[in-house]
Every structure is written in C-alpha cells, then in structure tokens.
Structure 1
Amino acid sequence: MKNWKLLGVALAACAMGAFTSCSDDKNDSPEESITIKDENGNIQLTIKNPEKWVAAAKAVVADLHEDATEELQEWMTEESIKIKTQAASVTVNEMIDDCIDEVDDVATEKIPSPLAILTMGDDCVANLGSVRNVLLGSLDGTVNEASIMALTASKNPQLAQKISTELADAVAKIQAIPKPLKQNANSTEAKAAIAACKTLQTTLSLELQPMFRQLQGEDAALKAIVTQYADGVVTPSVNDAKTAADELLIAVNTLPSQPTEQHIQSVIAAYIKARAALDLCAAF
C-alpha cells in the first residue's frame, strides 16, 4: 500500500506544475493575470496565463485521479485479501514496520527537505495522523479494543502511554514550526520536531516492534487487529482519498477556459482536501 504515500507526493508535484504553469511566459500580458490571496490578504499564487493553467491543471489531475482509482481497486481486490489470509502476526509486524518507516520519512525527508518533495507542515501532521490511526485502529483518535495500542496497553501500559505521549509531542512540535515550512526547515522549531519524531521512531523500533515479534499465544487478538485495520482504518481511508480525488477532478474539469479567482479558489480547496486524504494513507 505504499503507493498511497507516493500519490500524496505526486499530487504535490502535480499541483506545483499546474499552479505555476506558464508563470514566466514573457508573452503573458498583465491584464491576463489572476492573483489568489488567502484570508489575510497574502498572495498565495499568481497565474499569468489562466487558459494555459487550466489546461495544465486538467492534465495533471486526470493522471492523479487515474492512479488513485487503480490504487483503490488494487486494495479492494488484492491487498485487503492478502493481509487477511497471511499469518496475522506477519501483517501486524508489517503494520508496525510501516509506521516506523513513515515516522522516519517525516524526520529525515519531509521536514528537513520540503523543497525537494514539496512538503508542507500540515502534510507532516497528517502523515503522523496516519501512523496514529494504524496504532489505534480507528480514525477518530480513540483506542479500538482490537488495535496495536490496546494490546500493548494490556501487556505494557507504560509503553503504550510512552508511545501516545511521544506521538502527541511530535505532532505538537510540527505544528509549532513557523509557516511556510520551506522557509523554516532549518529553524529551531523544525529541529525540535525532527528530534521528537526520531524519539518516537526509536521507541517504535526498539520497544514496540520487539515486543510484538516475541508475542506468544495471541493469535486471536492479532487476527482481530488485522480485521479492524483492514475494515476500520484502511478501507475507509482509501475510499475517502478516492472520493477526494473524484471531487478534485470534477472541480478541475468544470473550470472555464478563462477562470475567475473564485474558480481557482474552488480548485485549491479541492486540492488541499485531496492531499490531506492521501497523506492520511501514508502509513499503509
């Protein structure tokens, strides 16, 4: 399921290509330009050739939508069956591995190199939200009784509390990084966020992972965790991502060749929603 993470990066790249399309075209006249501002009046985007921008946006979003559709189909027809038929212990350890990898990715790539992979702070928070959902077996922040965290709490409540605290701390420190991330990747706040993520990664890899690899006599509990993960976390998350991709495609395809600022804002809103949904699938 790692392709859902790649789709999030692809969406960022698509947006960067479409949102800056033709921005340096020397033949563009000033009266053609559209300037998009946020609620505080700060300029978010200047489109110097709206017609070319619309064409570029439609092309890149169509490709992304096709990829998202294929990923959903793969999950429903292959991956969801695979994880339920292989040994539950294997699946659960893969889940933990994926969480470790995602936290590492946030710490070593997404925060320190936002320009290279077009990361925003909100993306990193959502990526850790994906890790949280896998560990808790839910999408609402509660601990499902059939989850990695619940089983951990029954075996080692101190470890469960430690993971919960470190995860919350990592999220809080990412949220404390001044925006935009690309201009603050070397800030004191960013370094603190990276350190918090590395602390969480260490706990997951050196304490949680060994505990689950050594579990004995918990087959029923592990099977329940896998079922909840598949049906209560991954399936609704990838469905949400596909729905958001559908809405983005509709928003782009209904753009007139000469869009207004309101038209562009609707596409940006759909883009933000789609990217957030994809980021919440990053740990699958």
Structure 2
Amino acid sequence: MKKNFFYATALALGLAFTATACSDDDDNSTVNPADIEYNSENAASWHNYMRNVAALLKTDAANLYDSWNTSYKGGASFATSFKAHNGAYNFSSAWNCIEQVIDGCVEISNEVGETKIGDPYNKYMANNVIEALYAVESWYSWHSRDDYTNNIYSIRNAYYGSLDGKVSDKSISKLVAGVNAELDTKVSAAITAAAAAIQAIPQPFRNNINSQETVAAIKACEELESVLDKELKPYIRDNSTINSNEALDPIVGNYVEVVVLPTYKDLKKKNNMLYDAVVALANNPSNSAFETACNAWITAREPWEESEAFLFGPVDELGLDPNMDSWPLDQNAIVQILNSQKWSDLEWSEGDDDAKVESAQNVRGFHTLEFLLFKDGKPRTVK
C-alpha cells in the first residue's frame, strides 16, 4: 500500500471542491468530495468511471499473474527465475530467496502495526482527529479490520507454505520446527496473536481508533515483526545445517507453486468477476446490483491483501502495487474526473515523471472503486 501523506493532509483539511454537475445545465455546486452522492444526474459519469477503474484492475491483476507464471520482461517467468536463483534479479541462492520471503513478512507486519493501525492511532492521540479518520485505509467500506487481518494471513501463508492454515512439509515452519521447535512455536504464536488482536478491534476500526484493542493490535504486530526479523531470520541465516540450497530449494519451490501463484491466479480470477459485476451495475443500475458489485469488491480484495507479504518482483518493479492499492486517495481529483470524463488521467507510461505517475495512481485502483461503490460501510443506492 503506497502512503501519500500530502493527500492525507489535504483531505484532512476538509477542502471543498467546486464540481460541475453532470446534467443538462452548467450550474456549479460546492461539493465536499467525501459527501458526494450517486444520483441520476451523475450516473452516466459514475458508471464510466467504475468501468474504467475495474478494467484497469483486471488488466493489472492479469499482468501480475502472467509475469510470475508465463513471461517477465520478455524472458522466463519470474517464478522460473526465482526458483532457479541463478543470479537473475539478485537471487543467487536459495537463502537469498528465503531471506526475501522473510523480509516481505517483516515489512508487512511493520506496515500493519506502525502505519495502517499505528498512524491513525498516533494522529488521533495527538488530537488530529480528522486527519486520523482519513488515514484509515478502506474506511469507505468499513473493511479495514479484515484487510489488516488478511495481511497477517499473508505472513502465515508464506511461513506455513500453504493457503489453508496448515503447515506444509515443504515450509519454513517445518524446517525450523525440525531443529528448533521452540522458535517455530514462537513464530506461529506471534502470527496467531497478531491476527486475533486485529480482529478484536471493535468494528469499524474508523470509529474505534483510540480503543484499548487498537493498542493491543499495534503491540502484537510489533512483537510479530521482532520475532521474524530478530530471531527467525538470523537463526536460518547463521545455521549451516539448514542454510543450504539442498535444504531450502524445496521450500522455495513450494512457496512459489503453492502460495504465490495460486494467490495471484485467484486475484486475476476475482478481478475478472469484479469487472463483470461493475459492468452489470453500469448496464442495469439497481440497489441489488450495487450490493453485488460491493460483494465482488470485497471478494477480489482478499487475495490482494493476502499477497502483501510478497510485494517484490513484478508487483514492485512494474508499479502494480500503487496502481492497484494506492492510499489515501485524491478525492478532489476523483470528483474532477467524474466531471471531465478524462480517462487518460488514470493512465501513465514508463518514462513519465513521478508527479504524473502518482497523480494517475491516486485516482484508480481498489480504493477509488471502493469510493464509488460504498458509502459509510454500505453499498451506495440508486437515487
């Protein structure tokens, strides 16, 4: 998840935007972007925007899966290069691969505890309440708590080498348990504790930022990060009996084939379904169609959140993470595009300057579609 504190600050100021209504007249009305409603006057623009964003998500998800599974940068798939660890993309040993896996788990445990939960909490406790509210990811749908839990499940899946919570025989967990059962138990317990602590936060998180459960979740994520980074990683790195290609190659292969590829395949499939639901809504607007599209959004988002422990390779190098999951949004720019219908503003190309890329990424992706589909934790309704 790309954080953009400039936009967070701007939104927190409650800036109003002078928007032109999408109707037959040219009257202007002052609209707070967070309060804008779907209605008969802007429905056509709204439908076009949803279709374009859903199409981009569908394309990005397909490109991500295909880069891992089929071909990357005109050569072998990233999965093939990663498993071969023959020097491509700086992976020259099985340990380099496992180190990347663990580092990904460390990074997302830190992000969940320090940024996704901790940043709103710190802002709230500093009496920056409005800024704290806008810092909460997925607050349009009230799906924040489940997003964060799925991030922890991405760590569980990477460590267990499975997608169902069971420990694979070809996993980091199994390897460590064979030589240090106490450490394996400690890592597993920390994963379970972090997920449980997040789920214990009263729903929605946006209304319970300063709760004691929030503090407990931050602490649990810190403890998970510590055991991964300070204990698990150096233990494998410094243990010659398990730090070898022979011991680690099966784990690398299983990680790719059982965790990464199925997760990205599921992401591709469910974003196709999300696109279809959005098109159906645009073609035949109704409250039930909004509800169906919202459910498709939640379903499509799950594999994304469960992939955040492996935000390396194509998802990083091709800019697909901020393409799909940039947060916070530029709500003012979203309203501008609703009025202008200038869909090229959602696109960027290699070689564009950072401002152009960032501007495009802040008005597309899961959260832009969330903004268009949800209102106060519920599907929008036809007016």
Shorter-chain TM-score bucket reads: 0.7 to 0.9
SS of match in other structure, 1:57: helix
Aligned equivalents of 1:63, 1:113: Cα separation in 2 = 29
Q: 1:211 to 1:265 in 2, by over 3 A?
A: same
Corresponding position of 2:343: none
**Which one-letter code corresponds to 1:55 in the other structure?**
N
* 2:203 aligned residue: 179
Q: Distance in 2 between matches of 1:66 and 1:139?
A: 24
Question: RMSD value over aligned CA atoms?
Answer: 2.3
Identity %: 33
Residue correspondence of structure 1 range 1-284 to structure 2 within 5 A: 47-48=38-39, 49-76=42-69, 77=71, 78-86=77-85, 87-113=93-119, 115-116=134-135, 118-119=137-138, 120-218=144-242, 219-257=245-283, 259-284=285-310
Q: Partner of 2:356 in structure 1? A: none
State the 1:101 CA deviation.
0.5
In the other structure, the counterpart of 2:348 is none
DSSP-derived class of the 1:81 partner: helix
CA contact (8 A) 1:146 1:221 kept: no
Contact kept in structure 2, 1:139 and 1:233, CA below 8 Å: yes
* TM-superposition CA deviations, 1:133-163 (whole Å, max 9, x none): 0000001111101100111111110111111
Q: Which has the higher helix share?
A: 1
Deviates more, 1:165-174 or 1:212-221: 212-221
Q: Deviations over 1:219-265 (max 9, x none)?
A: 32200100100111111110001101110011112224551101111
Corresponding residue for 2:351?
none
The answer to whether the Cα contact below 8 Å between 2:68 and 2:78 also exists between their aligned partners in 1 is: yes
Normalising by structure 1, we get a TM-score of 0.82
Tell me, in whole angstroms, the C-alpha distance in 1 between the residues paired with 2:187 and 2:64.
30
Structure 2 unaligned residues grouped into runs of 5+: 4-16, 24-35, 72-76, 86-92, 121-133, 139-143, 311-383
How far apart are residue 25 of structure 1 and its match? Answer: 6.4
Question: Match of 1:18?
Answer: none
Per-residue CA deviations over 1:193-231 (Å, capped at 9, x if unaligned) read 000000111111111000111131433220010010011
Counterpart contact for 1:121–1:180, Cα < 8 Å:
yes
Who wins on radius of gyration, i.e. which is larger? 2
Counterpart for residue 41 of structure 1:
none
In the TM superposition, what is the alpha-carbon distance from 1:72 to its structure 2 partner?
1.2
Q: CA deviation at 1:26?
A: 8.1
The residue matched to 2:55 in structure 1 has which SS?
helix
Offset, 1:108: 1.0
Q: Count how many residue pairs are aligned between Structure 1 and Structure 2.
A: 250
The answer for unaligned runs of 5 or more in structure 1 is 10-22, 30-44
- 1:85, 1:268 → 2: CA distance? 40
How far did residue 126 of structure 1 move? 0.4
C-alpha deviation, 1:63, in angstroms: 1.4
Inter-CA distance 117–83: structure 2 relative to 1 (3 Å threshold)? farther
SS in 1 for 2:210: coil
Return the alpha-carbon distance in structure 2 between the equivalents of residues 170 and 236 of structure 1. 24
Cα distance in 2 for partners of 1:256, 1:125 equals 31
| Partner secondary structure for residue 281 of structure 2 | coil
Structure-2 residue corresponding to 1:12: none
SS, match of residue 222 in structure 1? helix
Q: Please report the TM-score for the alignment, with normalisation by the length of structure 2.
A: 0.61
Q: Match for residue 35 of structure 1?
A: none
